[in-house]
Every structure is written in structure tokens, then in C-alpha cells.
Amino acid sequence: MTTGRTGVVGFAFLALLALALALWGPALLSGTGKSEVPAQQQAERQVVAKGIVESEEEVDLSSDVGGTILDISVPEGEKVRKGQTIVTLDGEKARDRLKASEAALSQAKARLREMEAGYRSEDVEMAKSRSAKAAAYYERARDENSRQERLYEKRATTLVELEKARETLQVAAAELKESQSSLEKLQKGFREEEVEQSKAAVSSANSEVSYRKAVLKDHRIASPTDGIVLKRHRDPHETVDRGVPILTLVNPDRLRVRAEIEETDVGKVKVGQSVEVRSDAYRDKVFSGTVRIVVAGVKRKAQKTFDPMASFDVNTQDIYIALTDYTGLAHGMTVTVRFKK
């Protein structure tokens, strides 16, 4: 019995000893010199990062006006030239508004020409004739009124006839005054402030026409650069608001590599540092390059990988790289970047 109990106790002691060695053995055995080796290896570790080939010139093409898309003349993947019209929106309403503003401008210009030239000579002559007739009518009415007053004093006419003569004289006096005022206005021409107002009306109408032309021009969207259509976001007959992307364009002749290094490697990559870039599409080819930009600051990881277990809950720093040769590489391709020491 004693022998059996002793064996059990011994076995338990050995088990506890093994557990203690497993938990604290590495820490007890490691010395100061040995602990520096992993840190040194960590410092000398070559930085490797995932990257993506992208165009330095990527443009989301949108319209400055809302409307219905009539035509998109290029499919995805097709090359476009700078200045080439690639999207056309329905501009019927804009054309109607432009015609109306052009008509208003024509009227304003005609009125200004009339004012600057002054009144027509035939209008002046007609006013003179009217004024002379009014003066003659006034003279006759005045003479008749005087005659009626004399007759009334002699009891040779009635009060009704006298009142009638007086009313006629008042009407004749008013007509004479109005005709003389019109003649004076025609002879002097338009007032300076009237001419200035007419000039202002022409200027305003001109601005409206220019604005309507610009709006109509905005219904035709041209490519701002040479490139290719990366993505088409909208189709013909769809209605879009201003600023909504219709096409995405990239310039394939202005490529770069954007790599993301993890936060633990921040400070290990410098501008001017040499890199080696490999692509799964060309496993036996190494692309050489140089770090051009190290973005200050970190952000959440953005690049996707084929590893479904890869975490995006990590901070990364963007590094922009220029390659000496991009032959075979295209916008959107993923690559592996090794930063040389």
C-alpha cells in the first residue's frame, strides 16, 4: 500500500514539474543576450506589402446639368481622346430657352439703335404739323370765346353758348400744350438716362444668351483627357442629376503602384528607396521601381486580397511607387512589393 501511494505522489510531482517547465521554462532559460536576437531580426526583416497598379489620372465624368441621357458613344474598355464628345443629354428645353433669350436680345438692340439714332425726321414733321393745327384750333376757339363774351355782355347770346365756347377753348388749350410738348421731345431726342437704361437692357440680354449657350453646351460632355473608359455607371434613357458620375475614365499612360504597409512597418520605408514588384500574371518577371511618396499618417486597410481570412481591421500607410517599366501591367492589377534595404 505504501509503495502504491508513493508512486502516485511521484507521478503527480513529475506532472506538475513538466507543466511548470512548459509555462516558465523559456523565460527562465532566456538571458539578456538572447532576448536581443529576435528584436534584431525584426529590425532587419524586409518589408513586404500588397499593392495595386493604378492610373495617376482617374476621372469620374459627370454633367453640370441634370437631364435624360440620349447617347453614350463609348463602351467600357474603349479608348477616348481629349475633347471627344462621349455623352449627350437631351437639350430640347435648353435650346428653346436659348431661342427666347436671343429674341429678347434682338428687341433690346433694336430699341437701343432707335434711341441712339434719335427720332425719325418724318415723326418730327408730323409732330410739327399736329402742333400747327392745334395752334390754329386754339386761335379759333379763343376768338370765338371772346366773341361770345362780348355778345353775352350785350345780351345778344345765351349763357349756354358762352359756356360751350369756354369748354372748346379749354380743350383747344390742352391739345396745343400736349402737341407742343411732344414736338419739343422729338426735337431734343431721348434723355440720357433712357439711353443708359436701354444699354443696360442690352447687356442683361447678352448675359442671358451667354448663360443659355453655356447651359446648352453642358448637355454635351467631352472627355477631359486621353484615356480609356474604366466603368460605365449609367445607360442611355436614364435620368441623372448634376454631379452624378456617368463614366469613369483612366489614363493608361500614367501608371503608378500604390502599396499599403501595415502600421508596424511605418518608418521603415523612405522616399527614394528601391523596390521589387512582382505580379501573379508574370511570376518570373521582376519590375524595378523607386518610392516616390510616403503618405504621412495611416488609415484603415483598403486593398482587398484573395485571402478570405484577411482582416481589414488594421491601419496601413500608403506608399506610392514609380516603376522603370510598366510593360504588361494595367490599371487595377494587384502586385506584391518588396522594399529593398
Domain identity same for 293 and 144: no
Domain identity same for 101 and 52: no
pLDDT of residue 304: 60
- What does each C-alpha distance from 137 to 116, 120, 130, 147, 148 come to in angstroms? 35, 26, 11, 15, 16
| Position 160 in a domain | yes
Strands (E), 28-158: 48-55, 58-62, 67-72, 79-80, 85-89
DSSP character at residue 264 = G
**What mean pLDDT value characterizes the chain?**
84
Residues in contact with 201: Cβ distance below 8 Å, sequence separation at least 6, in sequence order: 108, 111, 112
Domain identity same for 175 and 240: no
Residues in contact with 323: Cβ distance below 8 Å, sequence separation at least 6, in sequence order: 255, 256, 257, 277, 287, 288, 289, 329
The Cα–Cα gap between 228 and 80 comes to 6
Query: Rounded to the nearest 10 degrees, how much is the dihedral formed by the CA atoms of 278, 284, 286, 287?
Result: -70
- The pLDDT tens digits of the residues spanning 127-168 come to 788 888 988 999 999 999 999 999 989 888 888 998 999 999
- Please report, as a single letter, which amino acid is at residue 142: R
Domain identity same for 267 and 334: yes
| Position 1 in a domain | no
| Position 41 in a domain | no
Domain identity same for 136 and 101: yes
CATH code of the domain containing 270: 2.40.30.170
Closest of 244, 243, 242, 247 to residue 232, by C-alpha = 247
pLDDT of residue 194: 78
pLDDT of residue 35: 43
Domain identity same for 86 and 221: yes
| Position 39 in a domain | no
Chosen domain end from 165, 195, 214: 214
Q: In what order do the strands lie in the sheet with 220-222?
A: 220-222, 85-89, 67-72, 239-240
Provide the 3-class DSSP secondary structure of residue 171.
helix
Domain identity same for 237 and 195: no
**Domains of the chain: total:** 3
User: Residue 147 belongs to what domain range?
Assistant: 97-214
pLDDT of residue 341: 81
| Position 259 in a domain | yes
Domain identity same for 210 and 162: yes
Domain identity same for 103 and 206: yes
Query: Strand 315-323 vs strand 255-262: parallel, antiparallel, or unpaired?
Result: antiparallel
Domain identity same for 151 and 127: yes
- The pLDDT tens digits of the residues spanning 204-233 come to 999 999 999 999 999 999 999 999 999 999
| Position 273 in a domain | yes
| Position 19 in a domain | no
pLDDT of residue 46: 86
How confident is the chain (341 residues) per 10-residue block, as mean pLDDT?
Answer: 48 56 50 46 74 93 94 93 95 95 94 74 76 89 92 89 92 89 70 83 95 95 93 94 94 93 91 94 93 90 58 81 93 93 81
Domain identity same for 206 and 147: yes
pLDDT of residue 176: 87
Report whether 341 contacts 316 (CB < 8 A): no
Give the Cβ contact number of residue 105 at 10 Å. 20
| Position 310 in a domain | yes
DSSP string across 102-122:
HHHHHHHHHHHHHHHH-S-HH
Domain identity same for 115 and 185: yes
CATH code of the domain containing 244: 2.40.50.100
The Cα–Cα gap between 64 and 242 comes to 5
pLDDT of residue 289: 95
